[in-house]
Structure 1
């Protein structure tokens, strides 16, 4: 089990602290609505030798102890990279929305996508919103991320949530895969990502933003990556 702490800012009422004990982590892959966009991402990863998925969407299980809210993380080798995703979970009967990075070992991904996700830690932000506060304008919300390249802050990802399946859709799909009626207690799920601008590549950091143009607010998180030597 892993406990993560979130500062939740509702549209109405005071902000509150949500301390959530997670028992399961699910990474929803190939979660686009547009089949052409999914194919683009599949081809993007195919350039790195990643095999095509067996189905879309696909629900990967990752050990929950890989979740962290540390601002500095460690990975083995130089060939991993992050990507911003919406992160949804329940707290006291309410659905909350935050952001996380599905940091992935791109070299290992060519051998096994599931293993490449498992070996890398998953940074999670410390702030969250109520899902009910943003459902009505969900498609207008924007995912963005930046990386540092040669000392320059570079836009790495940008796209609206309209390009991805909604949390309701992904939750229903995961429950169907479990043949279950209720969301498993203590389960968090990342909800897919948008394409990397200029292609997937490693970086020593990832700066993330979930921007709500209707309510004029953002969820943000930034983490640094320390690469450990890949020795044999």
Structure 2
């Protein structure tokens, strides 16, 4: 299935990309102690550890969305802010997305928990070539709404994630060592929760900041839970 999405591109005309392949790269931390911390963090809520790291999950391309409202099954899901690589066959772009995941289903199957949820992405992309020389400096933060207040949830730089082109080269949709197959979007891993553990939240906000070029990508969304009928 093809999912056609129009993105704004900083400094350029908007681009419309027919996404045919969607990949979630998991357990991508550069520091193995941090990776183990995240594994332990999820294992504490019943999620089985991965068979290998990193791990590439395939999900339906139709799950990607720039909408600000997503429908979920009950209220047991939560977001994870991640850098996103998108290749349209002409250029490789960097964006921002959330690997929104059903935490209850995750205890049964990580792959199924990822497939069942929409994957919100910001509607703005940066040319990868413009940030390639300072990727490690890019900062990603996320926030969740609790008791009517935005609470810091995640924070980190891309220095804590494996080099993005290493993830590209090892991915199941690598076109070359530096490019994905045309029409591929890949989320590239997330950051540990700052405090309080992995938990659901009705509203999620994320941002990626490039201090060197003085710009930022932001996106927020809300989940609308559907009733669980049995």
TM-score between the two structures when normalised by the length of structure 2: 0.95
- Equivalent of 1:170, from 167, 170, 174? 167
CA offsets, 1:170-225, max 9 Å, x none? Answer: 001114xx686473221110000001122111001111100112112101101111
Partners of 2:88 and 2:184 within 8 A in 1: no
Which residue of structure 2 aligns with residue 209 of structure 1?
A: 207
Q: CA RMSD in A?
A: 1.3
Partners of 2:89 and 2:182 within 8 A in 1: no
- Equivalent of 2:132, from 135, 138, 144? 135
TM-score between the two structures when normalised by the length of structure 1: 0.94
**Alpha-carbon distance in structure 1 between the residues aligned to 2:225 and 2:183:** 30
Map of 1:54-65 to 2, 5 A cutoff? 54-65=51-62
**Alpha-carbon distance in structure 1 between the residues aligned to 2:69 and 2:161:** 28
SS at match of 1:107: helix
Which residue of structure 2 aligns with residue 5 of structure 1?
A: 6
Partners of 2:89 and 2:183 within 8 A in 1: no
Map of 1:83-122 to 2, 5 A cutoff? 83-122=80-119
Give ranges in structure 2 of 5+ residues lacking alignment: none
- Equivalent of 1:158, from 152, 155, 160? 155
Give ranges in structure 1 of 5+ residues lacking alignment: none
**Alpha-carbon distance in structure 2 between the residues aligned to 1:62 and 1:19:** 20
- Aligned structure 1 segments of 4 or more residues deviating by more than 6 angstroms: none
